A and B are shown apart, each in its own frame.
Chain A
Amino acid sequence: MQQLVDQLIQEGYFEGVPKDFVYTGFMVLVALLVLSFFVAPLAGITSWLERRVWARIQSRVGPNRVGPQGILQWLADGIKNLLKEDIIPTAADKRLFALAPYVVFVGFFATFVVIPFGSQLIVADLNIGILYLLAITSLVVVGILMAGWSSNNKWSLLGGMRSAAQIVSYEIPAGLALLTIVFAAGTLSMQGIIKAQGWAPWDWLLFYNPFTFAAFFLYFTAALAEGNRTPFDIPEAESELVAGYVTEYSGMRFLFFFFAEWGNLYVIGAIATTLFLGGWQIPPITDHPVLVGILQFIVFFLKAYLWVFVAMWVRGTLPRVRVDQLMSLCWKYMVPLSFICLLGTAAWMVIWPQGNRVASFVMFLIGVAILGLFFRRVRFQIRHAQPVLYWKPYI
């Protein structure tokens, strides 16, 4: 990326323009391109897919009218929301009310800077990538509190406070789980962490030792809670708080909150993939640079999207937890467990500084066994319940 811009400057395309301006201009251009051709369709299609998956889980049909199988539903929703009147309540604090959705959105969108889609396909490989991720997502909390307070509505305020308390608490287990991986990989850079892994599952940091294996589940749960997803969606619990901090929002601003929420799902999956699941690493089957790039992107995208699907599945099947249950889960169970993971990995690295291949392989086998047991149980449930299954994915 930087090399390309440098080359263009050298060839004299930008005579007389300060170098910083050229860089800034390119950054803005790339951000716009990524936003309109990747993040917007991604969040939109995720919203459509989520509704279809739930519908499937709940024996309904789901949106299937706009486009083939309703895949263009997100465009129709977007246009509808754009055309709606942008209502700002008279009692609201106008400036903060107007600003809040953008703060939330920037906090989510800026994470795409450090997500490595391929060995070359990354906006900026910061040498403190993970710290950047943790820091920039904390903007979301500020935006949510802003939205909750400025709406001047008790549901919004309660939702905002709940959400902020939840995000701040769950940042600790999530951060500690990420630090476990930083220990094992020995770097804070996203590309560096991927390069510390291999394409084969037993080379992934997920199976590095039992502690990183546990850290993965801690991270995924904490990330779901940070993204305000069911079963941890008490900030927007419909039965208690109408819609939480988004109660007073309508039209485009409402859309921005949900844009951030659905996009954030993919970011969670992408971070999990980068840190634990080998990222874009592919087996050495070809040398062609373009082909390798495409394969890396596909591998990364599918691994990350798998976790989006798991999050939808969880949302469709688990009930919501109570506020006190949520807090005690975080502080009494997840924080101590993540400390154990951190210290355990540190001890492991003292005993086997080069890692332990046998242990990795055993962990891999255990992982496969767990997955096998899970699917056996699912099969038993399906046999037992004898539902009328039809394998057409559409109606």
Chain B
Amino acid sequence: MILFFILAALSVIFSLAVVFQRNPVHSAMALVATLFLVAVLFLTLDAPMVGFLQILVYAGAIMILFLFVIMLLNPEALERRRVFWWGLGSTAALVLIVEMAALLSAIPAREGRIAAVAEGFGSPEMLGRTLFRDFVLPFEIASVLLLVAIVGAVVLAKREL
């Protein structure tokens, strides 16, 4: 319980930093921290496999890609703050939070209780079984999607082929 609150507070702080840091590199570092904390939350929810995959895929690959592009383009000027958009965004976010809180508090607390799960829940065996038995077609489609993404990135980013 205490662990959850610490993790939750830290992840909210770092995700706020993602949005409000003016330097993109600082934003990216804060995002790495947030993703890491969310991965730890996955661990507390009996999803170790997905949690470590999250660290591997996000911190190890996607965020490195972001940092690379930031350093490659190296945009000099810090962006200007625009009061109108700033206000709009914050209001929208607050409205979103209040709405969701209202929705969530409408659920009776009894139904929100988390039940005990079977031994080995979230283990690689169970994940693999579900993935390759019930979700074979989506899995194959995902691999095709990744291939398309690779080809697309090369076509878009290369100066001349």
Contact = CB atoms under 8 A, between A and B. Distances in A.
A128 B49 contact: yes
Given A20-B3, A96-B25, A161-B71, A142 B48 contact: no
Contacts of A20: 2-3
Q: At the interface, is chain A mostly helix, strand, loop or mixed?
A: helix
A138 interface: yes
A346 to B, nearest CB: 14
B61 A168 contact: yes
Chain B residues touching A, range: 20 to 34
Interface in B41-70: 48-49, 52-53, 55-56, 59-61, 63-64, 67-68
Contacts of B123: 127-128
Contact of A135 (B32, B56, B63, B124): B56
Nearest to A96: B29
Contact of B55 (A135, A149, A161): A135
B124 A142 contact: no
Nearest to B55: A135
Contacts of A18: 2
Chain A residues touching B, range: 20 to 34
A212 B25 CA distance: 41
A139 B56 contact: no
Contacts of A157: 71
B52 A131 contact: yes
B68 A164 contact: yes
B28 to A, nearest CB: 9
A18 to B, nearest CB: 8
A131 B60 contact: no
Contacts of B124: 127-128, 131, 188
Interface string B89-114: 00000000000000000000000000
Contact of B71 (A126, A132, A141, A149): A149
A136 B124 CA distance: 18
Contacts of A304: none
Nearest to B120: A127
Nearest to B127: A128
Contact of B67 (A93, A132, A149): A149
Contacts of A142: 29, 32, 59, 63-64, 67
Contacts of A171: 60
A164 B72 CA distance: 13
A128 B52 contact: yes
A57 interface: no
B25 A149 contact: yes
A138 B67 contact: no
Contacts of A131: 49, 52-53, 56, 124
B48 A139 contact: no
B67 A164 contact: yes
Interface in B1-53: 2-3, 23, 25-26, 29, 32, 48-49, 52-53
A134 interface: yes
A146 interface: yes
A20 to B, nearest CB: 7
Contacts of A136: 55
21 contacts: A18-B2, A20-B3, A93-B23, A96-B26, A127-B123, A128-B48, A128-B123, A131-B52, A131-B53, A131-B56, A134-B56, A135-B52, A135-B55, A135-B60, A136-B55, A138-B59, A142-B29, A146-B29, A149-B25, A157-B71, A165-B68
Interface of B: 2-3, 23, 25-26, 29, 32, 48-49, 52-53, 55-56, 59-61, 63-64, 67-68, 71, 123-124
